Structure 1
Amino acid sequence: MASPSVLSLQDRIRVAKELLERVDKLCSRQTKDVEGRAKLCSKLRAELKFLQKVEAGKVQIKESHLQSTNLTHLRAIVESAESLEGVASVLHVFAYESPDGLKQTLVVDVVANNGHTWVKAIGRKAEALHNIWQGRGQYGDKSVVCQAEDFLEASRQQPVQYSNPHIIFAFYNGVSSPMADRLREMGISVRGDIVAVNTVIDEPDKEVEDGSCSSEEEQGVVDHEPVEDEEEEDEHHDGEDEVDDDDDDVDDEDADDPEFMHTRVDRDTIVERLSFPTEVKVDVCNRANLDITTLITYVSSLSHGRCHFAFKEQVLTEQATQERQEKVLPKLEEFMQGKELFACESAVHDFRVILDTLGGPGEKARAEELLARLKVVPDDPSERTTSRLVISSKVNRRSLMIFGTGDSLRAVTMTANSGFVRAAANQGVRYSVFIHQPRALTEGKEWRAIPL
């Protein structure tokens, strides 16, 4: 398919419609809905609506403005998301602090591999990117290298299972070889066509080439402001010049102008062509911390085939129905496999109390087998748990001990207590967790249940 920069108006309308269909297909192959899908679709619909207005003669624009619509960047996002597994979100906004302590936000185009991979999709031409990097862009332009510094800083503050997300910059209109080398030196993975630099007219400024931002104004730039509400799509193209930063707003004829062209980037001479890998290696945490809900779920009769009952208690009947539809134990076993297993004293103590009160013979036997596999450790909540979380209806002391100890162990806490996880996140503490469906102890209640 031709690059959007050379497409006709009718072709652009067709591509926008096709991208909307591809977003739906993308979500259908994921295990759950992709966060930000509605936002991406909203942007695509706004683009399509704008192009259809141009086609109908309701909007008069220059051809150069048509070439610099948002379609290039949106298409790059869709293609990036299609290239990776475990896409968790698109156009996700992360908050972080700059090295000088200022609050910043960063938009990650695609978050994949269940959070372990961040992708920035870049549709701008290699010539424009290279000259901005040399400090010869328009006022307010921020080089890709400066943006890479922002991504690295933000990723250090957003660990996933105690590892920083891996960052990929995907170039859909090429990247110059020197820029690609600089990004890889910084620890950024590069995807796309790496093209040659044939003629250097001016020696680039050393400070800029090393990736320094040239002004305070540039340091505060956020690449792509998210669409907060789908109702905004009608306003998306009120101004002729409103385009995303990554879109190609430099015409080919401008690139041949000596006043503009300082470095000749030859996109026909491909030095290296890098596609997305079929498998992306991620650092997986090899420690698991089991909370009370996980201990109960693991030994429950429901999880061991005794789910064909209608119980007197509605919640148990619902859990039995869920278990018949989707077994929970295989998922727990898969996650626990090969990991060092922990539980804190508070979790084990309260689990035993519940087991003694409600557990049946089979459940109690399975509990002893499970506890023998665990390393029981003293309660030792992390500093951020004790200093930043405030007790509330969803945040109780027992949960602080369990999740905080897992945090100190640098272990992923297995839990069905999603309410605590959300409440803690709302207070600014995000834990590394594996969330599963709950199952209660039911063996002692089967005698009065109705077999199905």
Structure 2
Amino acid sequence: MSLKATLQQRISSTQALLQQVQQLCPGVEGHQKLCGKLRAELRFLRRVECGELQVKESHLHSTNLTHLTAIVDSAQSLDHVVALLHVFTYQDASGRRRTLLVDVVANGGHTWVKAVGRKAEALHNIWQGRGQFGDKSIIRQAEEFLQASRQQPVHYQHPHVVFAFYNGVSSPMVDRLRDMGVLVRGDIVAVSSVKVEEEELAEGDWEEEEEEERDGEEHAYEEAAAPHTQVDRGTVVAHLEFPLQVEVEECQRVNLDITALITYVSSLSHGRCHLTFREPVLTEQAAQERHEKILPQLDAFMEGKQLFACRAAVHDFQVILDTLGGPGEKERAHMLLSRLHLVDDQPSERTKRLTPSAKINRRSMMIFGTGDSLRAVTMTANSRFVRAAANQGVHYSVFIHQPRALTEGKEWRATPL
């Protein structure tokens, strides 16, 4: 195929992929970042087309399009995608702060996907120490993914790591990845033994030793495993497709904060929402309730689980209830509190390290920190605290719902719809 024909093919493919992405997961974190990468790719190809840039045909085949296509395909194949091209922060074995780019975060955060576009031959050669200087093997990348995932639990479970290969992967590499606990998708191809000259092998060993010194780590080089082998792309021994069945054990503990307690007993949540209040915020909440009832959502999440509340939450809830609550709301509060396990305030160690601010007050730290110590999911409408804590690197397990205020005492001056 000529350079011009290859170029036109790449432009058409990039345009089609961009249209595909624009309809995929709109509103999901990283959606615009992925669109931006595709637009940058398109600009590059357009510059080549109009003669601004002179490139060889091989350069067109080594653009980012293969990897971007793999990301889109992975996102389309998975359920409940919550982020694309998300950067996680973690600490390596020496305590240094590192960042890791995850192509697709799916299943509500329980699945991390790395989409791999490189050919099976190149991946296998790098793994065996026959790559170019600076190439990082898939096995090394898998170690980083696993290390980071162990520091980013979702509802107290480590995310599953999936490597999706879109140009094949050798069977020995798959065996190694599975032994590590990484799930694999894509064509698994066979390998055959090859004879390696002693000089070449010695040179490869020297390069590996030098790289170990550069890294400053004693790293076990599976890549140097003998005998050396080469990929036989013509022999596909297995094909593993999406969708991916990931077993997620639901957390059976729920920690209710003040906003959840108030929402659960609110008159608005119990049918008294066909009113216009003098207070605009209450009128807005009433409209939200008419559009989407909150109580069935809370009941469904709480069903069959152990319910907890800490003393700080219950104390402040009781003060608010005594001040603003109506008879029905107080009665429902009594019934709700009788269902809960009341526990002492016991904030987790990572909560104690948070820096207080306008959005991170001591009361919220007690409540969310106690839920963290209990390994419970905190049910809350306080999304401001959750975001502020996340900005400081503390990600809580939460079920966020819309707020409802205590309104029974204000119904007498509200206007029925």
TM-score (norm 2): 0.90
Higher RCO, Cα 8 Å, sep 6+? 1
Equivalent of residue 25 in structure 2, options 21, 27, 38:
27
What is the CA distance between 1:283 and its match in structure 2?
Answer: 3.0
What is the alpha-carbon distance in structure 2 between the residues aligned to residue 279 and residue 51 of structure 1?
38
Residue 437 (1) aligns with residue 378 (2): no
Residues 166 and 417 (structure 1), Cα distance of their counterparts in 2 relative to 1, 3 Å cut: same
Residue 362 (1) aligns with residue 362 (2): no
Equivalent of residue 7 in structure 2, options 6, 9, 31:
9
Equivalent of residue 309 in structure 2, options 335, 340, 343:
343
Cα RMSD between the aligned structures?
2.3
1:244 aligned partner: none
What is the alpha-carbon distance in structure 1 between the residues aligned to residue 209 and residue 85 of structure 2?
25
SS in 2 for 1:160: coil
- 1:139-193 Cα deviation digits (max 9, x unpaired): 0000000000000111111111111111000000010000000000000000011
1:399 aligned partner: 364
What is the CA distance between 1:52 and its match in structure 2?
Answer: 2.0
Amino acid at match of 1:435: I
Residues 282 and 301 (structure 1), Cα distance of their counterparts in 2 relative to 1, 3 Å cut: same
What is the alpha-carbon distance in structure 2 between the residues aligned to residue 218 and residue 145 of structure 1?
15
What is the alpha-carbon distance in structure 2 between the residues aligned to residue 214 and residue 145 of structure 1?
15
1:56 aligned partner: 50
SS in 2 for 1:27: coil
Equivalent of residue 409 in structure 1, options 374, 396, 410:
374
What is the alpha-carbon distance in structure 1 between the residues aligned to residue 375 and residue 171 of structure 2?
39
What is the alpha-carbon distance in structure 2 between the residues aligned to residue 170 and residue 212 of structure 1?
30
How many pairs does the alignment contain? 397
Residues 390 and 278 (structure 1), Cα distance of their counterparts in 2 relative to 1, 3 Å cut: closer
Equivalent of residue 247 in structure 2, options 281, 284, 301:
281
Residues 218 and 170 (structure 1), Cα distance of their counterparts in 2 relative to 1, 3 Å cut: farther
1:373 aligned partner: 339
Residues 212 and 296 (structure 1), Cα distance of their counterparts in 2 relative to 1, 3 Å cut: farther
**Structure 1 unaligned residues grouped into runs of 5+:** 1-6, 221-261
Residues 346 and 430 (structure 1), Cα distance of their counterparts in 2 relative to 1, 3 Å cut: same
Equivalent of residue 146 in structure 1, options 107, 120, 140:
140
- 1:230-258 Cα deviation digits (max 9, x unpaired): xxxxxxxxxxxxxxxxxxxxxxxxxxxxx
What is the CA distance between 1:14 and its match in structure 2?
Answer: 1.7
Which sits farther off after the overlay, 415-424 or 277-286? 277-286
2:277 aligned partner: 311
Structure 1 stretches of 4+ with a deviation exceeding 4 A read 211-214, 216-220
TM-score (norm 1): 0.83
Amino acid at match of 2:233: R
Is this contact kept in 2: 1:202–1:263, CA < 8 A?
A: no
Is this contact kept in 2: 1:213–1:219, CA < 8 A?
A: no
What is the alpha-carbon distance in structure 2 between the residues aligned to residue 276 and residue 212 of structure 1?
38
Equivalent of residue 271 in structure 1, options 211, 229, 237:
237
SS in 2 for 1:11: helix
**Structure 2 unaligned residues grouped into runs of 5+:** 218-227
What is the alpha-carbon distance in structure 1 between the residues aligned to residue 212 and residue 71 of structure 2?
28
What is the alpha-carbon distance in structure 1 between the residues aligned to residue 275 and residue 210 of structure 2?
65
Residue 80 (1) aligns with residue 80 (2): no
